[in-house]
Amino acid sequence: MIGRLNHVAIAVPDLEAACATYRGALGATVSAPEDLPEHGVTVVFVELPNTKIELLHPFGEASPIASFFEKNPSGGMHHVCYEVEDILAARDRLKSEGARVLGDGEPKIGAHGKPVLFLHPKDFAGTLVELEQA
């Protein structure tokens, strides 16, 4: 059902510093920051030959990743994102197998302009999983 790894998301307390590290020390191509108020984050994508790294930073007071920083003040890996061909079919199959879809269960438009869903980490070996329609 899952396709390729779309990205690994890393929550960072200082977006500028993280971008500078990836751009400078690692020599990576780093996108401009993009605010996603509906998701409560600012994102930057680090382009790699085979996938991307998404750097996440809180946007606004009600950012859903604020609680992540309470437990992990230095930041860290936040989620992995896999591509699926049909997000509604994937959601329905996962729910029929007992997986929990976060939020209201309906896809939202993600940073790439495509529908996304998040799956409960307790159902996936402690890892928050994002599905993105390819």
pLDDT tens column, 91-128: 999 999 999 999 999 999 999 899 999 999 999 999 99
pLDDT digit string (tens) for 22-54? 999 999 999 999 999 989 999 999 999 999 999
In this prediction, residue 61 carries a pLDDT of 84
Mean pLDDT of all residues in 1-25: 96
What is the set of active-site residues? 130
Helices (H), 39-134: 66-71, 87-96
**Which 8-state DSSP code applies to residue 32?**
P
**Number of helices and strands in the chain (H, E):** 3, 9
Q: Which CATH class is domain 5-133?
A: alpha beta
Provide the residue type at 69 as one letter.
F
Overall pTM surpassing 0.75 (yes/no): yes
Could you tell me the residue ranges of all domains in the chain?
A: 5-133
pLDDT at 6 over 90: yes
DSSP per-residue string spanning 9-25: EEE-S-HHHHHHIIIII
In this prediction, residue 94 carries a pLDDT of 97
Minimal CA–CA distance to 84: which of 42, 127, 119, 53? 119
